[in-house]
Amino acid sequence: MTVKSRITMVSTPRINIVSDVIDDIRLFLRYLNHPDYPGKKQVILKFYPTLSELLSHAGDEKTIVDTFVMDMYKRHHIYIKTITKALKEEVAKASSIFALLDKIMNYANLGQIAFNARTTFLPFSPLTDGGFYLSIGRLPQDPRRLLFTAVHEISHHILLCQLHDWERNTGIIMNHPAVHYLKESVTGAIMDNPMFNQYFDYKELFNEDTYKGNIELHNFMVQHSNNTTVNIVTYVKQHLHTDESIPYKRKLHSLFLIFSNNQESFSNQWNIWNAWQTASNDTELLTTYRKPIVLKE
């Protein structure tokens, strides 16, 4: 069961949207057992209590997941076609948003790039090489929210391209937790922008006045050189946007160095976060997670 459509606009990246049940089954199985994201298993099972119940009994995990995901695609095949078409229409109107992303991130090649976007019934939207997934698990899904997710994920691709160039030039390689917190906090800082807010209407879309980034950032506090404690998204936003006389690329590279110098702290935070998710939201672990890390700048 495969549904395809292509989005092509001169001022936007090319986005190929694919819905493939076999691919989604593989994705469910991967994130139920992902070594880098162990906490995602509980996120999935909490979102799908029926699947949790099925897996709690003796049985083959692959067979159970295969049947469960296949059934969702059979029941919602019209919805998948409808939401894909609606997303295509949203992207066709969004050239100004992609131009804004280009400008803010100092990246001039976005219109020349093609991304592969796959729909998934997972309650989150994983990044892939050359593309990303779009979560359609919350029924009915607002196509503007899917557009927001697409912009969010594309900002990750831009950031990772810039990071890989820096790593090649410096020989410094960041570990997975540092990269994760870097890309999510940079995206949070970039998309907490009045023009993005005006276009997407965060109050209506998320019931928030501003965009706070992914949930793992909401309680992540950092203490920096002047002994000020702020949320990590606020810190990154201040770093990238406070002094407009400094070129964006230079500020971004200095941010890369800061995250590189604090990889151990980011690894510790990542371990606590995954333990908190796995332990069914243990309050003691969350209290530990909320303690600010002291940045070496």
Instruction: Examine the fold and report which residue of 86, 119, 141 is the final residue of a domain before the chain moves on.
Output: 141
Residues 6 and 130 in one domain: yes
pLDDT value of position 194: 93
Domain boundaries, position 128: 2-97+109-141
Minimum mean pLDDT range among 5-9, 233-237, 286-290: 5-9
Reported as a single tens digit per residue, the pLDDT across 147-179 is 999 999 999 999 999 999 999 999 999 999 999
Question: In whole angstroms, how far apart are CA 61 and each of 22, 26, 161, 190?
Answer: 15, 12, 36, 40
In a domain, 193, yes or no: yes
pLDDT value of position 227: 86
Residues 92 and 178 in one domain: no
Look up tokens 């936003």; give the residue.
237
Identify whether the C-beta of residue 259 lies closer than 8 Å to the C-beta of residue 252.
no
Question: In whole angstroms, how far apart are CA 240 and each of 29, 37, 73, 244, 250?
Answer: 38, 28, 42, 9, 9
Work out the pLDDT band at 226, boundaries 50, 70, 90.
confident
Residues 132 and 221 in one domain: no
Our count of domains for the chain comes to: 2
In a domain, 220, yes or no: yes
In a domain, 147, yes or no: no
* 111 has a pLDDT exceeding 90: no
In a domain, 21, yes or no: yes
Residues 121 and 52 in one domain: yes
In a domain, 12, yes or no: yes
In a domain, 215, yes or no: yes
Tokens linked to 145? 């929210």
Residues 179 and 79 in one domain: no
* 3 has a pLDDT exceeding 70: no
pLDDT value of position 6: 42
Tell me which amino acid residue 72 is: M
In a domain, 154, yes or no: no
Question: What average pLDDT does this structure show over 88-113?
Answer: 89
Reported as a single tens digit per residue, the pLDDT across 16-75 is 998 999 999 999 999 999 999 999 999 999 999 999 999 999 789 999 999 999 999 999
Residues 177 and 136 in one domain: no
Cβ-defined contacts of 5-9 (< 8 Å, 24+)? 5/84, 5/85, 5/88, 7/87, 7/88, 7/91, 7/92, 9/91, 9/92, 9/95
Q: For residues 235 and 56, what is the distance between their CA atoms, to the nearest angstrom? A: 42
* 109 has a pLDDT exceeding 90: no
Question: What average pLDDT does this structure show over 262-277?
Answer: 96
How far does Cα 96 stand from its chain's mean position?
21
In a domain, 229, yes or no: yes
Residues 37 and 127 in one domain: yes
Reported as a single tens digit per residue, the pLDDT across 271-284 is 999 999 888 768 89
